[in-house]
Amino acid sequence: MELIFEKSASGRKGFQLPKSDVDIQADIPAAYIRKTECLLPEVSELDVVRHFTQLSKLNFSVDGNFYPLGSCTMKYNPKFTEQAAAIKGFADLHPLLPQLDNSLVQGALEVLYHMDRLLSEITGMDDFTMQPLAGAHGELTGVMIIAAYHRLKGNKKTHIIIPDSAHGTNPASAAIAGYEIVTIPTDDKGALDFQKLKGLVNTQTAGLMLTCPDTLGLFNPDIDKITELIHAVDGLVYYDGANLNALLGRARPGDLGFDVIHVNLHKTFATPHGGGGPGAGPVGVKRKLSHLLPISRVVKNADNTYALNYNYPDSIGYVASFYGNFGVILKAYAYILMLGKEGLRNVSDHAVLNASYMMAKLKDYYQIAYDRRCMHECVFSAMRQEAQGVHAVDIAKFLIDKGMHPPTIYFPLIVKEAIMIEPTETESKESMDQFIAAMIEAAQLAEKDPKSFKQYPKTMPITRPDEVKAAKEIHCNFFAKR
Amino acid sequence: MSGFIANTDSDIKDMLQAIGVNSIDDLFVDIKPRHAPHSFDVPEGKSEFEVLERLYGLAARNATNLVSFLGAGYYDHYVPSAVSALASRSEFYTAYTPYQPECSQGTLQALFEYQSMICTLTDMDIANASLYDGGTALYEAMMMALRITGRKKIIMDGGVSPIYRTIIRSYTKNLDIAFAETPVVHGRSNRAEIKKMLDQDTAAIILQNPNFFGAIDDHSDIVETAHSRGVLVLESVYPVSLGLLKTPGEMAVDIVTGEGQSLGLALSFGGPYLGFMATRKEYVRKMPGRIVGETIDTKGRRCFVNTLQVREQHIRRERANSNICTNVALCAIQATIFMSLLGRSGLKDLAGLIFQKAEFARQEISKIKGVEVKRSSPTFNEFTICLPQKASAIIPKMISQGFAPGFPLSRYYPDMEHYLLIAVTEKRTKEEIVNFAMALERALWN
């Protein structure tokens, strides 16, 4: 498809500005004026509307396709939450109004305060900050809190322990916060290797970062033993909330011994993923760490009004400009209010039911990474197909031609040819059955005609792209000379 | 069944049978009784109608009816209807990171166009596909400069938003980095001081244009000195101003970042916003975040993919350029739609309109007895005024007359208790500006 720049015609306009109503002769001195022309396209409003409408049609999306992208929790995003975020009283609210008077933003502060209470109750933590703007941003905030805890206590801590199955964001976040990374392997049952962990934990251990259920979709029954072991050396345990969708009403990270957690509102709490954000990654802590949370914090006064409080001398400071991705927080807030206690429990019950069904129906056709009871997602390996020359990526491309977004592939890194399926609770049995049928067809085709896989996808606007060329001949800007 | 769940009783029965268990509880065998929640005291669920009523009620307790002269980097711009109409297409907003390019060309091409627009706007070689917001983008630029130079010292100009400066300071508490700040003199960068401080240990100097006080500058001389000592120059910019102002590229800046909220995003009480970043091509491998690149498919057709992924956390883990994963793709797409609509002349005209209105507001306010609007260099869309009384005494009187009267600078500068930072956008009419000046006069002298 043509780029918007290629549709440009000199003199065409897509927007009418108001005429200037001020009669003033003032000019910016020429020395401060740009001389190179800004080459934005010249297109009409209809050109723009048609261009982006046509572009949108090139995407698979949750609204259009089954999207079992493991670890990303691509559940249905309720429409009414979009309406909630667009309410003028929220959408037009300037973030610095509280600097004039807190009374101007009481509704917004109540949302933030109440969300803090709701997330604390749901996860078993004591206090939350809404500031972190995505999951990885939450991780960095959490590790900064861990570092501040040790610094204030005078602890000499040098490393954070992270399983080899963790998301790449975990080690990246801990490294940015100044820690060395110690990697703990996974045992033959798919759990963090507890014996090895015992050998690695020492007085230099600042903490442990865990995803629970882990990235293999498994819940570790020894989780409390693990948190105790870390606490014994005054380490803190971080909960990566990527997989919280499995646990609502069934277990709370706070009760399991976790000290700091982040929650991905765009996963568990149904806010849209936006083609790669915006998300939101609020961070919750146990009371002993509350004084370290980022500022500002929303507090409730004795007269039931709300205020921003900056007076926390031990705080790690600001991790974002304001109070988090407020528009995203608002959508998640609306979702939680609508579902309530029973609705939230149902989420996890059916997320786990659907993933377990998927695993049961596919395990005769694909090798299971670890044959245990899975939670909200299940991880297979395409090793059996790989023996025929068919890789996980080939199966993914086959599924695209069936009108389904492929599962996550090649993650977790410890599973060869990994295929990670997370149907989420909002999929019907019918759509899962269609996916299962497609996966079985792929497995059978891998036996019969493995070579045929290289042609997929063949029904999409493009066939497989040359990724090597993209990286070698970097062309990321239409205006750059080749 | 609540929770947007489709499974019927008979589905559940069939699925449990296929799994080989008797109940949903049996699926949770690994969660032992001792792991059960100590409490789960969440309110009962409500209908869509009831939740929305509650939210409309809360929204009504926010003051969005004030005529706003409040900015400080975040502006009350008009957003054309086509922006939200197109960004509301759920093919964009219910997709995720384009890991599978064949079924994500819409997002990928839009982001390629976004990157190209940021490049032509800033006059730089290469841009990434977005960072969280203007503040975190500047922090990422600083980390990038440390990686490129291997040096450990950062100089921050006092004209950089104090909101950004406080963020950067929090992030670097655990890192071995030396900071120096150079306070502004009469609202402008202290060039002599900055040039004196740029040395062989300095990784980067961080600047902003227009600066926090609204002053327009040409940093070319600082860039020249910096480069002669191997120091990189980072500049945070207000993107709308680049419709008119000398570009970071023309000043030979090394890394440009900025807050993209003014490119078609709602104020939304602080987010979601858009952090943008652009740099020179030789630094592309040190850049954080997603980058969309052009390539061809097996039939030779042009297409787009996420590229240079070896920089990123999901491949390089603790040695990655950044921990960023989810960014703000949808906000970048909104900005792309906004910039497409405004187009070549529209952005220039918008910048001109804003400048004219801000100049008009400055003149009107300068007529008020006792109010000083002195400045040592031209300003763009914002300017500071000095009141004969403390701003804190005037603010309530302006609110009661229906105005959000600007940003009180004492929040970050304790010795500026008499100062307000006034922002003007294209939305402010002549009548509103005149009324604002009259209201300010009344607040001061009645």
The residue extents of the domains of chain A are 4-56, 81-338, 342-468
pLDDT in tens, A158-203: 999 999 999 999 999 999 999 999 999 999 999 999 999 999 999 9
Q: Is the pLDDT of residue A83 over 70?
A: yes
Write down the ipTM of this complex.
0.98
Cα A131 to its chain centre, rounded Å, is 15
> Which CATH number, 2.30.29.30, 3.30.360.10, 3.40.640.10, 3.40.50.720, labels domain B81-338?
3.40.640.10
Q: How far is A387 from chain B (nearest CA, A)?
A: 24
pLDDT band at B238 (very low <50, low <70, confident <90, very high): very high
Q: Is the pLDDT of residue B375 over 90?
A: no
Whether residues B295 and A52 touch (CB distance < 8 A) is answered with no
Cα(B207)–Cα(B181) distance, rounded to whole angstroms?
11
* Chain A residues with beta carbon closer than 8 angstroms to that of B220: none
0.90 exceeded by the pTM?
Answer: yes
- 3-state class (DSSP) for residue A328: helix
Torsions phi, psi for A449 (to 5 deg): -145, 65
- 3-state class (DSSP) for residue A203: coil
When CB atoms are compared, the residue of A177, A277, A470 closest to B305 is A470
Cα(B273)–Cα(B259) distance, rounded to whole angstroms?
7
Cα(B261)–Cα(A326) distance, rounded to whole angstroms?
14
The packing angle between helices B162-171 and A135-153, to 10°, is 60
Amino acid at A50: R
- Tell me how many residue pairs between chain A and chain B have CB atoms under 8 A apart: 695
Q: Is the pLDDT of residue A14 over 80?
A: yes
* Chain A residues with beta carbon closer than 8 angstroms to that of B323: 136-137, 139-140, 169, 172-173, 175-176
Q: Which one-letter DSSP state was computed for residue B43?
A: P
> Which CATH number, 3.90.1150.10, 2.70.70.10, 3.30.56.10, 3.30.365.10, labels domain B67-77+343-445?
3.90.1150.10
Q: Is the pLDDT of residue A338 over 90?
A: yes
Q: Is the pLDDT of residue B354 over 70?
A: yes
- Residue in A7, A17, A22, A111 to test binding to B, most B beta-carbons within 10 Å: A22
Per DSSP, the residues of B422-439 read: EE--TT--HHHHHHHHHH
pLDDT band at B170 (very low <50, low <70, confident <90, very high): very high
- Residue in A25, A33, A34, A482 to test binding to B, most B beta-carbons within 10 Å: A34
Q: How far is B305 from chain A (nearest CA, A)?
A: 7
**Is A81-338 in CATH node 3.40.640.10?**
yes
- In angstroms, the Cα distances linking B63 to A106, B404, B407 are 9, 9, 16
Q: Which one-letter DSSP state was computed for residue A265?
A: T
Residue A300, strand partner residues: A306
When comparing pLDDT for B312 and A315, which is higher?
A315
Whether residues A223 and B74 touch (CB distance < 8 A) is answered with no
pLDDT band at B209 (very low <50, low <70, confident <90, very high): very high
- At residue A311, the pLDDT reads 97
pLDDT band at B446 (very low <50, low <70, confident <90, very high): confident
Cα(B23)–Cα(B29) distance, rounded to whole angstroms?
11
- At residue B351, the pLDDT reads 97
What CATH number does the domain located at A342-468 have?
A: 3.90.1150.10
pLDDT in tens, B127-169: 999 999 999 999 999 999 999 999 999 999 999 999 999 999 9
**Contact indicator for A428, A232 with CB cutoff of 8 Å:** no
* Chain B residues with beta carbon closer than 8 angstroms to that of A364: none
pLDDT band at B15 (very low <50, low <70, confident <90, very high): very high
Cα(B294)–Cα(A28) distance, rounded to whole angstroms?
38
- 3-state class (DSSP) for residue B408: strand
What is the percentage of chain A residues whose pLDDT exceeds 90? 99
- 3-state class (DSSP) for residue A236: strand
- At residue B1, the pLDDT reads 59
Cα(A444)–Cα(B102) distance, rounded to whole angstroms?
23
- 3-state class (DSSP) for residue B4: coil
Whether residues B167 and A317 touch (CB distance < 8 A) is answered with yes
Q: How far is B444 from chain A (nearest CA, A)?
A: 17
Strand ranges in B248-315 using DSSP code E only, listed in sequence order: 255-259, 275-279, 292-296, 302-306
Q: Interior CA angle at A57 toward A55 and A63, to 5°?
A: 130
pLDDT in tens, A430-461: 999 999 999 999 999 999 999 999 999 999 99
Using CB atoms within 10 A of its CB, is residue B191 exposed (0-12), middle (13-18) or buried (19+)? Answer: middle
Q: Which one-letter DSSP state was computed for residue A459?
A: S
End-to-end CA distance of chain B: 62
Domain boundaries, chain B: 67-77+343-445, 81-338
Q: Which one-letter DSSP state was computed for residue B231?
A: -
- 3-state class (DSSP) for residue B310: helix
Q: Which one-letter DSSP state was computed for residue A128?
A: E
Task: Return the H-helix or E-strand segment holding B393.
Answer: helix B391-399
Torsions phi, psi for B371 (to 5 deg): -95, 130
* Chain A residues with beta carbon closer than 8 angstroms to that of B383: none
